[in-house]
Structure 1
Amino acid sequence: MADDGSQQSSSVWPMPKFYFQVKWDSTVMSFEEVSGLDIEAQPIEYRHGDSPVYSTIKMPGLKKFSNITMKKGVFKADNKFWDWFNQIKMNTIKRVPVIISLLDESGKPTMVWTLANAWPTKITGTDLKAQGNEVAVETIEIAHEGLTIANS
């Protein structure tokens, strides 16, 4: 008898990326897109003077985190991005934890990215077109001081 797939393991298929949640400090916000969840170890090239090999070796150096970009629709009387950005005064800003969770079909987090000490570096307002037929979308770019990843 042919396999109808009813006994298939839930670990066979990768998670879809369209069901996620973003929490700023303690506020849950809805976003259309989140990108920039990158981490990189910068290579250090080194060669000691009496090495018989005429090339450098590479060692892992400092970790480098990309800025996170988030996009959301523009809603009437919703100025959360601008209010946070306007708190920048004399090299100080309120830094908050940002938690990005990939959710399963029941709404439970399966993979969680936590940004430490996040703060806004750039806000891009929507473009305006008289003959456009799209939703108004604004973008915020967030710097942070570290990214941790946890799986449930």
Structure 2
Amino acid sequence: MLDGDPLLSYQFSLQFTGGPTLPTTAFFREISGIGVEYGVAEHKTVSESGIPFIQKIPARPTYSPITLKRGIASDLSLWLWHKMVVDEITAELARTNVQIVMYSRMYLPVLQWSLKRAWPSKISGPQFQTDSTDVAMEELTLVHEGIEIDTMGSMIGRAAGLL
């Protein structure tokens, strides 16, 4: 794959580190919501020549929740993880680091988004419809305390710190 080739959106996986009820790697049909937005603080000041102006300064970042969707199966690990959040004894243990890995056309890892201290804020089960032949889906929303992007094995990605 050439560096300029676009990546395909369907070649990805999730990796969990630290969650006691979670699998090491999981596959989902859809992942959405990766992003960070910085607030803007306005600072009124005066230039050296005495002209007033407003300086815009980056404020605290806000990290978007991540939504995961997959076909539901008999594996209850996501539901058990969500249950840990409710329980005061295990709530802190529910926080785990999550890596979203994107693969090249040769199925080699290329990019990785790392979510810090993620935990499930919402989980939804399938919709039941007697006239449907669709796969039953479950949906999980993760909140987290930060996100970093890295090119797999590349110092350039670490140095860039784009997100």
* Coarse TM-score class (shorter-chain normalised): 0.7 to 0.9
1:70 and 2:62 are equivalent in the alignment: no
- Displacement after TM superposition at 1:43 (Å): 0.8
RMSD over aligned CA atoms reads: 2.0
**CA distance in structure 1 between the partners assigned to 2:148 and 2:136 by the alignment:** 32
Q: Does 1:136 align with 2:139?
A: no
Which one has a bigger Cα radius of gyration? 1
Indicate the structure with greater helix content: 2
Aligned pair partner of 1:58 in 56, 59, 66: 56
Counterpart check, 1:39 vs 2:36: yes
Match of 2:7, as an amino acid? Answer: M
The one-letter amino acid of 2:72's match is: V
Mark the runs of 5 or more structure 2 residues left unpaired by the alignment: 18-22, 153-163
> Map of 1:71-150 to 2, 5 A cutoff?
71-75=69-73, 77-88=74-85, 89-90=87-88, 92-93=91-92, 94-150=94-150
Aligned length: 142
Distance in 2 between the 1:101 and 1:15 partners? Answer: 12
What TM-score, normalized to structure 2? Answer: 0.79
- How does 1:1-16 map onto structure 2 within 5 Å? 10-16=2-8
**Large movers: runs of 4+ above 6 Å:** none
Give the fraction of aligned pairs with identical amino acids, expressed as a percent. Answer: 27
Instruction: Write out per-residue CA displacement over residues 53-94 of structure 1, whole angstroms, 9 at most, x where no aligned residue.
Output: 3x532111111111111001011x211111001112238242
Q: TM-score, normalised by structure 1?
A: 0.85
